[in-house]
Amino acid sequence: MTDQSCSKSLLNWTTTFLRISMHNVSRAARSSGLSMLQLNVLMHLYYNGEHEIMDFTDMLQISPAGASQMVERMVQIGWVTRDVSPVDHRVRLVNLTPVGREIVENIISKLEEWLQVLNDHMTAEERQETQHVLNRLTELATVTEHNTV
Protein backbone atom coordinates (compact mmCIF):
# COMPACT_ATOMS: atom_id res chain seq x y z
CA MET A 1 0.00 0.00 0.00
CA THR A 2 1.38 3.40 -0.92
CA ASP A 3 1.42 6.42 1.39
CA GLN A 4 -1.18 8.06 -0.84
CA SER A 5 -3.57 5.09 -0.77
CA CYS A 6 -3.19 4.79 3.02
CA SER A 7 -3.98 8.49 3.40
CA LYS A 8 -7.02 8.05 1.15
CA SER A 9 -8.24 5.10 3.23
CA LEU A 10 -7.81 7.13 6.43
CA LEU A 11 -9.72 10.02 4.89
CA ASN A 12 -12.50 7.69 3.69
CA TRP A 13 -12.86 6.13 7.15
CA THR A 14 -12.73 9.50 8.90
CA THR A 15 -15.36 11.10 6.70
CA THR A 16 -17.62 8.03 6.91
CA PHE A 17 -17.25 7.81 10.69
CA LEU A 18 -17.88 11.53 11.14
CA ARG A 19 -20.88 11.58 8.83
CA ILE A 20 -22.60 8.61 10.50
CA SER A 21 -21.69 9.44 14.08
CA MET A 22 -22.59 13.14 13.70
CA HIS A 23 -25.92 12.16 12.14
CA ASN A 24 -26.65 9.91 15.12
CA VAL A 25 -25.45 12.51 17.63
CA SER A 26 -27.41 15.29 15.94
CA ARG A 27 -30.59 13.23 15.92
CA ALA A 28 -30.17 12.33 19.60
CA ALA A 29 -29.42 15.96 20.49
CA ARG A 30 -32.51 17.21 18.65
CA SER A 31 -34.69 14.63 20.38
CA SER A 32 -33.43 16.01 23.72
CA GLY A 33 -34.04 19.60 22.60
CA LEU A 34 -30.32 20.43 22.43
CA SER A 35 -28.52 22.60 19.93
CA MET A 36 -25.09 21.38 18.81
CA LEU A 37 -23.45 24.17 20.86
CA GLN A 38 -25.33 23.06 23.95
CA LEU A 39 -24.37 19.47 23.28
CA ASN A 40 -20.72 20.53 23.03
CA VAL A 41 -21.00 22.14 26.46
CA LEU A 42 -22.60 19.05 27.99
CA MET A 43 -20.03 16.72 26.41
CA HIS A 44 -17.16 18.93 27.53
CA LEU A 45 -18.46 18.98 31.10
CA TYR A 46 -19.06 15.23 31.04
CA TYR A 47 -15.51 14.42 30.00
CA ASN A 48 -13.64 17.28 31.72
CA GLY A 49 -15.68 18.27 34.78
CA GLU A 50 -16.69 21.74 35.89
CA HIS A 51 -15.54 24.78 33.95
CA GLU A 52 -15.81 28.52 34.06
CA ILE A 53 -18.42 30.01 31.75
CA MET A 54 -15.70 31.95 29.92
CA ASP A 55 -13.92 28.70 29.01
CA PHE A 56 -16.71 28.09 26.51
CA THR A 57 -16.07 31.28 24.54
CA ASP A 58 -12.93 29.98 22.82
CA MET A 59 -14.14 26.40 22.60
CA LEU A 60 -17.42 27.37 20.90
CA GLN A 61 -16.19 30.52 19.16
CA ILE A 62 -18.88 32.67 20.75
CA SER A 63 -18.78 35.94 22.69
CA PRO A 64 -18.66 36.02 26.50
CA ALA A 65 -22.23 37.36 26.48
CA GLY A 66 -23.30 34.53 24.16
CA ALA A 67 -21.68 31.93 26.41
CA SER A 68 -23.31 33.42 29.47
CA GLN A 69 -26.74 33.51 27.82
CA MET A 70 -26.44 29.94 26.57
CA VAL A 71 -25.40 28.69 30.01
CA GLU A 72 -28.27 30.62 31.62
CA ARG A 73 -30.75 28.93 29.29
CA MET A 74 -29.22 25.53 30.09
CA VAL A 75 -29.52 26.30 33.83
CA GLN A 76 -33.20 27.21 33.41
CA ILE A 77 -33.87 23.97 31.53
CA GLY A 78 -32.06 21.97 34.22
CA TRP A 79 -29.11 20.57 32.24
CA VAL A 80 -26.36 22.41 34.15
CA THR A 81 -25.79 24.35 37.35
CA ARG A 82 -23.92 27.62 37.60
CA ASP A 83 -22.27 28.34 40.94
CA VAL A 84 -19.96 30.99 42.34
CA SER A 85 -16.35 29.84 42.57
CA PRO A 86 -15.22 29.40 46.17
CA VAL A 87 -11.83 30.83 45.16
CA ASP A 88 -12.94 33.88 43.17
CA HIS A 89 -16.48 35.20 43.63
CA ARG A 90 -16.38 36.91 40.23
CA VAL A 91 -16.10 33.53 38.50
CA ARG A 92 -19.08 31.30 37.74
CA LEU A 93 -18.51 27.54 37.48
CA VAL A 94 -20.70 25.33 35.32
CA ASN A 95 -21.46 21.69 36.20
CA LEU A 96 -23.69 18.97 34.80
CA THR A 97 -26.91 18.15 36.60
CA PRO A 98 -28.08 14.53 36.77
CA VAL A 99 -30.44 15.34 33.87
CA GLY A 100 -27.55 16.73 31.79
CA ARG A 101 -25.41 13.68 32.58
CA GLU A 102 -28.26 11.37 31.56
CA ILE A 103 -28.64 13.16 28.22
CA VAL A 104 -24.92 12.77 27.46
CA GLU A 105 -24.91 9.12 28.53
CA ASN A 106 -27.91 8.44 26.28
CA ILE A 107 -26.09 9.98 23.29
CA ILE A 108 -22.92 8.02 24.08
CA SER A 109 -25.05 4.88 24.32
CA LYS A 110 -26.41 5.48 20.81
CA LEU A 111 -22.85 5.75 19.47
CA GLU A 112 -21.84 2.60 21.33
CA GLU A 113 -24.78 0.73 19.78
CA TRP A 114 -23.63 1.67 16.29
CA LEU A 115 -20.02 0.73 17.07
CA GLN A 116 -21.21 -2.61 18.45
CA VAL A 117 -22.95 -3.31 15.14
CA LEU A 118 -19.63 -2.68 13.37
CA ASN A 119 -17.86 -4.90 15.86
CA ASP A 120 -20.39 -7.69 15.38
CA HIS A 121 -19.65 -7.76 11.64
CA MET A 122 -15.92 -8.34 12.14
CA THR A 123 -14.09 -11.59 12.68
CA ALA A 124 -12.03 -12.05 15.85
CA GLU A 125 -8.87 -11.46 13.81
CA GLU A 126 -10.29 -8.25 12.28
CA ARG A 127 -11.28 -7.00 15.74
CA GLN A 128 -7.76 -7.62 17.04
CA GLU A 129 -6.16 -5.88 14.03
CA THR A 130 -8.62 -2.99 14.27
CA GLN A 131 -7.94 -2.54 17.97
CA HIS A 132 -4.19 -2.46 17.36
CA VAL A 133 -4.43 0.03 14.49
CA LEU A 134 -6.93 2.31 16.25
CA ASN A 135 -4.84 2.37 19.43
CA ARG A 136 -1.81 3.35 17.36
CA LEU A 137 -3.75 6.01 15.43
CA THR A 138 -5.05 7.45 18.69
CA GLU A 139 -1.51 7.59 20.03
CA LEU A 140 -0.20 9.29 16.87
CA ALA A 141 -3.12 11.73 16.73
CA THR A 142 -2.49 12.75 20.34
CA VAL A 143 1.21 13.30 19.70
CA THR A 144 0.66 15.28 16.49
CA GLU A 145 -2.52 17.11 17.61
CA HIS A 146 -0.87 20.54 17.77
CA ASN A 147 1.03 20.10 14.49
CA THR A 148 -2.06 20.20 12.29
CA VAL A 149 -3.21 22.90 9.90
| pLDDT tens profile 60-90 | 899 999 999 999 999 999 999 999 988 888 8
The answer as to whether 107 is a domain residue is yes
User: What SS3 state is found at 89?
Assistant: coil
- Does 146 score more than 80 pLDDT? no
The answer as to whether 140 is a domain residue is no
Predicted confidence at residue 59, as pLDDT, reads 86
The answer as to whether 35 is a domain residue is yes
CATH number of the domain at 99, please.
Answer: 1.10.10.10
- Does 149 score more than 60 pLDDT? no
Q: CA-to-CA distance for 32 and 141, rounded, in angstroms?
A: 31
Q: Measuring CA to CA, which residue among 115, 133, 104 is closest to residue 17?
A: 115
What is the tally of structural domains in the chain?
A: 1
The answer as to whether 58 is a domain residue is yes
- Does 107 score more than 70 pLDDT? yes
The answer as to whether 74 is a domain residue is yes
Percent of the chain with pLDDT strictly greater than 70: 96
Mean pLDDT confidence for 5-13: 89
Count CA atoms closer than 13 A to 117's CA, side-chain side.
Answer: 7
| pLDDT tens profile 37-62 | 899 999 999 999 999 998 899 888 99
pTM listed for this prediction? 0.79
What is the extent of the structural domain holding 77? 16-120
Percent of the chain with pLDDT strictly greater than 90: 51
- Torsion angle of C-alpha atoms 39, 43, 46, 47, degrees rounded to 10: -170
Mean pLDDT confidence for 115-136: 93
Predicted confidence at residue 141, as pLDDT, reads 86
The answer as to whether 146 is a domain residue is no
Average pLDDT over the chain reads 90
Contact 96, 44 (CB under 8 A): no
